[in-house]
Structure formats: structure tokens, C-alpha cells
């Protein structure tokens, strides 16, 4: 059974969330929504590389935070609540020079006021390149 507030949500439904954002600038594209996961890709190119030609760790962190934040937004009633990242860490395990990387986010904790997400990023050969954890605060909207 899907964990999402709207169980029928599709990647095309959330694509507008990224318009004119850091994720849009870096080429992040949501590709799949499963029962308890969200998947997105990001190119390894001039926007996402560091000076030595490798995927920049900060770009991996952007992919991770984008996935976790959007996943939180899919769990809540957006008419009543906002979600904001409050802590992220990332361990960079392997370098990537080209192609697409794919991030997959799954929940570790989904409480009323905080969510904690596990994000794994893989290269095109499906080798694990980064593991990240994101904590998101759920904040009631002020009307």
C-alpha cells in the first residue's frame, strides 16, 4: 500500500515543483514513484562537476535534499503544512565522471513533526556512489 497522501501521484504531477529551482538548474528529473520510494536522475555534466571532472559532492547533496524534501511534501496535506529540510549528511563513496546518477529515497521515520529519509545515489552501472540522510521539519502553515 502506498504511503503517499495522494496514492495515485505520478512523476508528471510533481515535475512543476522543480520549475525555476536548484534542481531544475542541475537537470534533476523525477522518474518513478513507488509505494514507498521516489526516484530521480541528475546528469553529470558542466553544471554538476567539480574542477577535477568528478561529480561535485554538493550536487549529490542537492539531489538527496530534493528527493527527501519532495518525498515529505508527498506525505503531507500541502494545504495545511509545509516541509523544510533541517539537517542533511552525505557520504561520497565513489567518483563519477559522466552519465546520469540516480537517487532513490525511502522513509526511515515519518512522524507528525519530522520525517527522516534515507537517500542512496547510484551511477549508471548501478554502483553505490553516495549515501545520505535528510531530516525534514513539518510546519503548520499560518493563515
15/42 Cα distance (integer angstroms): 14
Exposed (0-12), middle (13-18) or buried (19+): which is 105, by Cβ within 10 Å?
buried
- 10 Å Cβ neighbour count for 43? 18
Catalytic residue among 65, 87, 98, 126: 65
73/83 Cα distance (integer angstroms): 6
Helix ranges, the chain (H): 11-14, 22-26, 57-75
Active-site residue flag, 35? no
The residues annotated as belonging to the active site are: 65
Amino acid at each position: 500500500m502506498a504511503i503517499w497522501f495522494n496514492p495515485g501521484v505520478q512523476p508528471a504531477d510533481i515535475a512543476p515543483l522543480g520549475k525555476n529551482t536548484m534542481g531544475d538548474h542541475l537537470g534533476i528529473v523525477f522518474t518513478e514513484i513507488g509505494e514507498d520510494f521516489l526516484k530521480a536522475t541528475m546528469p553529470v555534466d558542466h553544471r554538476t562537476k567539480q574542477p577535477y571532472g568528478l561529480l561535485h559532492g554538493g550536487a549529490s547533496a542537492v539531489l538527496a535534499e530534493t528527493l527527501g524534501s519532495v518525498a515529505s511534501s508527498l506525505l503531507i496535506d500541502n494545504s495545511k503544512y509545509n516541509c523544510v529540510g533541517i539537517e542533511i549528511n552525505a557520504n561520497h563513496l565513489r567518483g563519477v565522471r559522466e552519465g546520469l546518477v540516480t537517487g532513490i529515497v525511502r522513509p526511515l521515520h515519518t512522524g507528525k513533526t519530522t520525517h527522516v529519509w534515507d537517500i542512496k545515489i547510484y551511477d549508471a552501472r548501478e554502483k553505490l556512489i553516495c549515501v545520505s540522510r535528510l531530516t525534514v521539519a513539518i510546519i503548520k502553515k499560518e493563515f
